[in-house]
Amino acid sequence: MAVPDDSSRPRLAPGCRWVAENQGAEKKTGAEENRVILFPEGAIKLQGTGRQVLERCDGTRSFGEIIAELQGQFKDTDPDKIRSDIGQFLEQLQRKRVVDY
């Protein structure tokens, strides 16, 4: 498996979905809501940048567009490091069958 190219459109793999972590507890809204990705072999709780990346993986944005958005958001970080780190992150999630591209 390889790192996505700029035209790839990352999305959650079939059988994977976002759910509220505490569905029975008092619900929080927006950025406060704790969410996890359920997939056939388990669940992943993502916070911070990992969550921001995966929330953008909706099948409509290309990998290049996701990178550009995050490079704009994290202007003090080396753009090549952002590209490399996010590419490796998505490659790992693809190996776990959480993301397709």
The domain that contains 80 carries what CATH number? Answer: 1.10.10
pLDDT of residue 23: 59
How far from 35 is each of 22, 50, 88, CA to CA, in Å? 8, 12, 22
Q: Residue 82 domain-assigned? A: yes
Q: Residue 19 domain-assigned? A: yes
Number of domains in the chain: 1
Residues whose CB is less than 8 angstroms from the CB of residue 92 and which lie 6 or more positions away in sequence, other chains included: none
The pTM of the full predicted model, rounded to 2 decimals, is 0.84
Domain limits for position 68: 11-96
Q: Residue 47 domain-assigned? A: yes
Q: Residue 42 domain-assigned? A: yes
User: Which stretch of DSSP H or E encloses residue 50?
Assistant: helix 48-56
Q: Residue 30 domain-assigned? A: yes
Beta bridge partners of 58: 11
Q: Residue 64 domain-assigned? A: yes
Give the whole-angstrom CA distance, residue 66 versus residue 53: 7
The pLDDT profile of the chain, 101 residues, written as one tens digit per residue, is: 799 999 999 999 999 999 998 754 455 555 557 899 999 989 999 989 999 999 999 999 999 999 999 999 999 999 999 999 999 999 999 999 999 99
